[in-house]
Amino acid sequence: MLNSLTAISDLRSLQLRRYARCAIALITGCMALLSIAYPQARRVDSLREILKISGLPDSQKIRNLNQLAFWLNRDSTNEALVYSNEAYLLSLKTNNQPAQIASLLNLSEGYLYNDSYEQALEYGFAALDISKNLKSDPDIANAYTNLGWIFYDTENGNFALQYHRDALALHQKLGNRSKEATSLNAIGLVFQLKNEYDSARKYFDQSLQMARAENIPGTISAAYNNIGICENARGRYKEAVSFFQKALEIDSSRNHTPLSQAETLNQLAYSLLMLKNYPEAEAMLKRSRTMIESATSNTKKEKILDNLSISSQLYQALGNYRQAFTDLQEYTSVRNQILTRSKSDAIAALKTKKETQEKETEIRELAAEKQLRSFQRNVLALCIVLIIIIGLLFYSKLRQKQKKEKELEEIKQALIRKDLDNTLLEKAALQDKLKYKDAELKNYALFISQRNEMVRSFIEDLSDLKLEGEGKKESLTRFNKMIQKFQHDLDINKDAQDFNLSVDEIHKDFFFNLLKKYPELTENERRLCAQIRLNLSIKDIASLNNISVKSAEMARYRLRKQFSLEHGDNLNEFLKQF
């Protein structure tokens, strides 16, 4: 009996861990309860009625099955497993991967409550794999949390801490404050499991602060419980009693499940035991045991475990060693049902196996990737060689084409130069010919002008003659006829007309360009432009056109005005531009 009583002190850490796990396992359910306005039983009944409806769409049926499993997992785990399995099979049939994740997490949680850790871990990893494939951060965070509780329950603190921290990081990234508070509480529990109470208290305080800010009663109650446990571990039992009473007050006001209150009562009884308030401690333990036995959840074994551990210590303090030994024996029996060292080792082995499989998969993927890269390098090298060969062939063809084009261009340029030389020669010949024609026209114009002057002078001289004698009358008549004939020929001026026709013929381009810019020019103005362009003097122009010099000057003035020439502009140079 003495050896058994000595072993009681070794049970303290396990008793603390059991309470903490059970308390945090209820947080998710507490938060869900806040979103509804009626008790859990009515919620469960409502879901069952919905599932009885025939012709319910598969997606809605899966969702309702998963919700029902979630609500039943804590109190009717086996029934919840049936609903979770049905939801999982239906989600597989419809290839609804998000629903598969929810079903797998429900199955993992159910098997965790039933202490079937290997199956819980298998379903938990399956949910994590699908979540990662879908790249769904909320589902990945939930899977991390689930795996963290599995390893926490099997006393693998390092693995539990790793997964809860990963979950916390994702909740912070997603901005989910309520789940962030839950993850902070979970990390505190892991440190509490490792007997690092200062670190645990830090996370509990953060969780409590965030839960108050977000008004999450379930998380606030759990944080108070966990802080109370830390205070117990530090030997500050009065402070611990204060925190446990706050937790009980919240749970009572919310009509929370009996198991949660039973756990708080167990820990409150331990604080009272340490304060040597044995009667009240015994009353709390009995009250807790009554609540535990009235529950139907598989998790009540763990509450019984805590109750028996504290009860054994209480009766030892009271000197009732027989009752203390009886409670200790019952405690050992229940504990063996929940977890043995071989099971704990098996869970660690499963984790190692999972990591090994992941490493092997990673190695295979790296090897395949290496082969792929090698193949890609070979293909790339082959492509480069082909591109180089094609490039060389293309370059050779291009060079040949450029060479031919260059030769053709040289021949073309030679022909162009030859044509240009011929054109220049022809142009020079035409210009020479034009100059010759212009000279002829000018001479012809001068000739006509001189002839007209001579005829006009002759007419004037004849007009001045005074005939006398017998043949005066007849001679006068003949002279008058001759004068009229000369005057008529001078007016007709056929030579001037021929001159103008020659000018029109030789200077077609000049007249075309001139009329294109000044279409309003008259025929006489055009002829005057041509005569000015031939460098004829005003006197010659007047004689050629049988007009006075003054009239010729006026015509020239009108042209300058029509061409908008300034006083210093040369009319002759202006006309040579056309």
Q: Residue 332: inside a domain, yes or no? A: no
| Res 309 pLDDT > 80 | yes
- In whole angstroms, what is the distance from residue 359 CA to residue 283 CA? 54
Task: Return the pLDDT at 199.
Answer: 92
- Please name which of 70, 51, 48 lies closest in space to residue 61, comparing C-alpha atoms: 51
Task: Return the pLDDT at 134.
Answer: 93
Q: Residue 268 maps to which CATH number?
A: 1.25.40.10
Mean pLDDT of 220-230: 90
| Res 375 pLDDT > 80 | yes
| Res 345 pLDDT > 80 | no
Taking a C-beta distance cutoff of 8 angstroms, is the pair 73, 113 a contact?
A: yes
Higher pLDDT, 500 or 344: 500
Mean pLDDT of 358-386: 77
- In whole angstroms, what is the distance from residue 271 CA to residue 229 CA? 9
pLDDT band at 184 (very low <50, low <70, confident <90, very high): very high
**Percentage of the chain exceeding pLDDT 90:** 23
Mean pLDDT estimate for the chain: 79
Alpha helices in 35-116 (DSSP H): 40-51, 58-72, 77-93, 97-113
User: Which of the residue ranges 24-33, 308-317, 365-374, 446-455 would you say has the lowest mean pLDDT?
Assistant: 24-33
Q: Which domain holds residue 256?
A: 51-272
| Res 149 pLDDT > 60 | yes
Task: Return the pLDDT at 130.
Answer: 94
User: Which of the residue ranges 70-79, 136-145, 205-214, 247-256 would you say has the lowest mean pLDDT?
Assistant: 247-256
Mean pLDDT of 219-232: 90
Q: Residue 428: inside a domain, yes or no? A: no
From 220, 238, 272, the end of a domain falls on: 272
From 217, 249, 272, the end of a domain falls on: 272
Using one digit for the tens of pLDDT, what is the confidence trace for 448-486? 665 666 666 666 666 665 555 555 666 667 667 666 666
| Res 27 pLDDT > 60 | no
Most confident of 30-44, 64-78, 96-110, 254-268: 96-110
Higher pLDDT, 146 or 467: 146
Task: Return the pLDDT at 3.
Answer: 36
Q: Residue 538 maps to which CATH number?
A: 1.10.10
Q: How many domains does the structure of the chain reveal?
A: 2
- In whole angstroms, what is the distance from residue 351 CA to residue 266 CA? 33
Mean pLDDT of 390-399: 86
Task: Return the pLDDT at 342.
Answer: 45
Q: Is 320 left (phi over 0), alpha (psi -120 to 50) or beta?
A: beta
Mean pLDDT of 63-81: 85
Q: How many CB atoms lie within 10 A of CB 487?
A: 14
Q: Residue 484: inside a domain, yes or no? A: no
Q: Residue 65: inside a domain, yes or no? A: yes
Q: Residue 511: inside a domain, yes or no? A: no
Task: Return the pLDDT at 351.
Answer: 59
Q: Residue 117: inside a domain, yes or no? A: yes
Higher pLDDT, 350 or 16: 350
Work out the burial of residue 578: count CB atoms within 10 Å of its CB; fewer than 13 is exposed, 13-18 middle, 19 or more buried.
Answer: middle
Mean pLDDT of 176-183: 93
Q: Residue 83: inside a domain, yes or no? A: yes
Mean pLDDT of 488-495: 54
Taking a C-beta distance cutoff of 8 angstroms, is the pair 279, 317 a contact?
A: no
Using one digit for the tens of pLDDT, what is the confidence trace for 248-264? 888 877 665 677 788 88
What interhelical angle do 197-214 and 217-233 show, nearest 10?
A: 160
pLDDT band at 138 (very low <50, low <70, confident <90, very high): very high
Task: Return the pLDDT at 540.
Answer: 81
Write out the H or E segment, with its range, that includes residue 478: helix 472-492
Mean pLDDT of 219-245: 90
Higher pLDDT, 200 or 435: 200
Work out the burial of residue 251: count CB atoms within 10 Å of its CB; fewer than 13 is exposed, 13-18 middle, 19 or more buried.
Answer: buried
User: Which of the residue ranges 47-56, 64-73, 481-490, 522-531 would you say has the lowest mean pLDDT?
Assistant: 481-490
Q: Residue 358: inside a domain, yes or no? A: no
Task: Return the pLDDT at 13.
Answer: 45
| Res 18 pLDDT > 50 | no
- In whole angstroms, what is the distance from residue 389 CA to residue 400 CA? 16
Give the type of residue at 469. G
**Percentage of the chain exceeding pLDDT 70:** 73
